[in-house]
Amino acid sequence: MNEEIQKLRSITLTSGTIKDLAADCELLKIRGSVALHQEVRFKKISAHGHSSFHARVVAQVLNNTGSCTINDLCEINEITNAGNLKIRNGQVTKINSSGKLTIEQKLQTEHFNAIGFVKAPEIYAKHFQLKMSGRSAIAQLIADEIYVEKDKTSLSFLKKKLVCKKIKGRTLKLSNTVAEVVEGDVILIGDNCDIQTLYYKEHYTVSPNAQVRHIIRSENE
């Protein structure tokens, strides 16, 4: 794979506002402060500085270790974020984030795996896993499998909580989560959860160190 990346036709940008990028390149490297004002299509984007995309972004791979903002729709197979990444509206097959991830509108993904901070109005996924370094907020989280816990390796004095209005899935394992509604087939409510209403179809458990105010069995469809 590395040899394949080395062979890609690449362009490196270090500064400026870009409106007429060459179309025949496959690898985009950003190493400074760069703003792109045209639709871009690359096999791989490697962002290390301050980058902002103001039109649609289509790529197989995005690696971000700096501060990256995508202000339009992005369609990306795989995102790896170790910096500060902000996406307006995204369709991503697989996302791995170990920094700060902000979604301004909606993210649709198959595999979501994050350690750190996440903020979003809506996330839809098949597999969702979050280990929090601090306070995260997702208004509506819908996924088949959802696992939420605090990251045990980060600083302990930070408030590691996920705050949601609604969490819905099939198999849910939650800790350190505050939510108005939790809905699923099999639900495990772990330590430090505060849930207003829990709807379950098959089975649920609640930790002694958690609070659930209303528990309602849903009819199987």
Q: Are 88 and 71 in contact (CB under 8 A)?
A: yes
The encoded tokens of residue 9 equal 């036709």
User: Which residues span the domain enclosing 92?
Assistant: 1-97
pLDDT digits (tens, 9 = 90+) for 4-62: 445 678 889 998 898 887 767 899 999 999 999 999 999 999 999 999 999 999 999 99
Tell me which amino acid residue 199 is.
Y
pTM: 0.92
In a domain, 107, yes or no: no
pLDDT digits (tens, 9 = 90+) for 126-137: 999 999 998 999
Residues 82 and 153 in one domain: no
**Picking from 93-107, 143-157, 160-174, which range would have the lowest pLDDT averaged per residue?**
143-157
**Structural domain total, the chain:** 2
Residues 126 and 171 in one domain: yes
Q: Residue 48 has what DSSP assignment?
A: -
Q: Are 20 and 2 in contact (CB under 8 A)?
A: no
Last residue of a domain, which of 35, 63, 97? 97
pLDDT digits (tens, 9 = 90+) for 192-215: 999 999 999 999 999 999 999 999
